[in-house]
Structure 1
Amino acid sequence: MRKSKVLAKLRAGKVVCSFKTNLDSARATEIAAMAGFECIWTCLEHGPNDISLIERQINAAKAWDTDVMVRVARGSYSDYIHPLELDAAGIMVPHVMSLEDAKNVVRMTRFAPIGRRAVDSGFADAQYCNVDLATYTREANEQRFVAIQIEDPEPLADLDAIAELDGIDIIFFGPGDFSHGLGAPGQWNHPKIAEARQRIVQVAKAHGKVAGTVGNPGNLKELVAMGYRFINVGGDVITLREHCRKLVEAVDRQPS
């Protein structure tokens, strides 16, 4: 099985920076991979992506030896394992709300003895039946990562128990939805957001997990100092928007 670059860096104690793609285009994914990002974060929770496009995005990134993390739709177990079968290096599960919810994630996404993920080795992650079943299931548990998003106030009560679970690699704080859940949308300096951001790092460290969140080049150093080691630093939509604005401003400054 292809080894995960993200897991190799995280297990070495290093920081991983990802780039999020919202545009429904494998070309956008490939451009970001060509630029040198170690991980591309794409999504089935929001937006127009379907599983066929996700497959093209994964293959585009693999051509440049880049991992893809797919945020899954909250549906049946098939929604969770399809990206893994297509050889995504990892998945992200949004809005994990409780300990039981997190246990369910592990059951659906990890092979025995950790979970009870359904087995079919006829896809890219098992090299189309070119890997024996025992090797496939063992390596999938070792070389594929599962991130869960803590983006609501409710799961904080279970956070320690959630972080204890075998089979979860990254505890990812989502401040956007968290602020909405507090009734304070977009208030990034809200004290409860600051408290949750810090607590997630502390709990993740205590249980040998990686703390992840969203950031940018301007606050990357601060987040790393806080203890975050998986940080999304940008995205295609914001990058395109900002570049277009700067071009328009530059053109508008020219004499007419």
Structure 2
Amino acid sequence: MSAAPILDRMRAGRPAIGLTVRLTRSGEIARVARASGHDFVRVDLQHSLLGAEAVGHITQTALGCGIATLVRVRSVTDPDVPALLDAGVSGIVFPDVETEEQARHCVRVCRFAPLGGRSYGGGYPLFDYRPVPPAEALPALDAATLVVCMVESVRGLANLERIAAVPGVDVIHLGVSDLLMSIGHAGETGHPAVAAAIDRVVEVATAHGRYAGCGGSPTVAHQAEAIRRGVRLLTTRNDLNFLVDGATAWADALRAAS
């Protein structure tokens, strides 16, 4: 499963929604994502202790059940990016991209020449590990890979135009939680700056032929509003939140009824 289904939905003007993975190490989470109506899983290495092998297991299950796998790496310079892509990950989400130079680095490690500098290794899951001539494999792998740059700070917003203009970037993804901390309004998701930032990301991304993404919105209503404003790549919540909320609601209901 490449990034193609995500791109198909966004090209058609429909949102692609993802389930964030922070806790689950089993590939079964990909099937849970599919059963619950998500289009992809986003494994969050930035805020978890998950390792590359766990990502590999999740990715292999996702490949077999029609769910794409995106990975938010630990930083723009995370050294595991090439290995994650070789393992079949559909795209890389780079956190806290603040400059054009950082965006160019993101593209360089994810794309093959001439746009980037990714090394060609052969034996890719996209082709079921069958040998495929490089002339055929390289463009197919590039087309199957999503490059997502998260903008999460005042500095990132100031450089938004330059980041979006970098060839090879697919999505400009607004990180609401960290942006609010950046402007001194942590947790205030109803702050006018959030709506203004979403509108600006949508406008700039669209002008440069990219797609707008959004994460960190705490409610269905807030996420639905982001979609109405033009966001096309969106993460709902993480597995840990869903587990705690679901278990708490069930236990509270049982105690209230007994």
Q: TM-score, normalised by structure 1?
A: 0.92
State yes or no: 1:223 paired with 2:201.
no
Match of 1:97 in 2: 98
Report the 3-state secondary structure (helix = DSSP H, G, I; strand = E; otherwise coil) of the residue aligned with 2:22: coil
Structure 2 residue ranges without an equivalent (≥5) = none
Post-superposition offset of 1:110:
0.8
State yes or no: 1:250 paired with 2:256.
no
State yes or no: 1:191 paired with 2:225.
no
Seen in structure 2, the aligned counterparts of structure 1 residues 221 and 186 have a Cα distance that, compared at 3 Å, is: closer
Match of 2:5 in 1: 5
Post-superposition offset of 1:219:
3.0
Please give the residue correspondences for 1:130-209 in structure 2 after superposition, counting only pairs within 5 Å: 130-209=131-210
Post-superposition offset of 1:2:
4.9
Q: Percent identity?
A: 26
Equivalents in 1 of 2:54, 2:79: separation in Å? 16
Equivalents in 2 of 1:102, 1:87: separation in Å? 22
Match of 1:60 in 2: 61
Give per-residue Cα distances to partners, 1:41-61, cap 9 Å, x unaligned.
112222111100000011122
Post-superposition offset of 1:96:
0.6
Report the 3-state secondary structure (helix = DSSP H, G, I; strand = E; otherwise coil) of the residue aligned with 2:19: strand
Report the 3-state secondary structure (helix = DSSP H, G, I; strand = E; otherwise coil) of the residue aligned with 2:43: strand
Match of 1:24 in 2: 24
Equivalents in 2 of 1:25, 1:175: separation in Å? 26
Match of 1:235 in 2: 238
Equivalents in 1 of 2:90, 2:107: separation in Å? 16
Post-superposition offset of 1:122:
3.2
Which of 22-31 and 102-111 deviates more?
22-31
The answer (yes or no) to whether the contact 2:2–2:145 under 8 Å persists in 1 is: no
Please give the residue correspondences for 1:58-137 in structure 2 after superposition, counting only pairs within 5 Å: 58-74=59-75, 76=77, 78-125=79-126, 127-128=128-129, 130-137=131-138
Post-superposition offset of 1:129:
5.2
Structure 1 residue ranges without an equivalent (≥5) = none
Post-superposition offset of 1:16:
0.9
Equivalents in 2 of 1:3, 1:232: separation in Å? 15
Please give the residue correspondences for 1:41-56 in structure 2 after superposition, counting only pairs within 5 Å: 41-56=42-57
Equivalents in 2 of 1:36, 1:132: separation in Å? 36
Seen in structure 2, the aligned counterparts of structure 1 residues 32 and 145 have a Cα distance that, compared at 3 Å, is: same
The answer (yes or no) to whether the contact 2:30–2:41 under 8 Å persists in 1 is: yes
AA aligned opposite 1:6: I
Report the 3-state secondary structure (helix = DSSP H, G, I; strand = E; otherwise coil) of the residue aligned with 1:232: strand
Equivalents in 2 of 1:19, 1:224: separation in Å? 16
Report the 3-state secondary structure (helix = DSSP H, G, I; strand = E; otherwise coil) of the residue aligned with 2:129: coil
Equivalents in 2 of 1:212, 1:2: separation in Å? 18
Q: TM-score, normalised by structure 2?
A: 0.91
The answer (yes or no) to whether the contact 2:70–2:89 under 8 Å persists in 1 is: yes
Seen in structure 2, the aligned counterparts of structure 1 residues 244 and 4 have a Cα distance that, compared at 3 Å, is: same
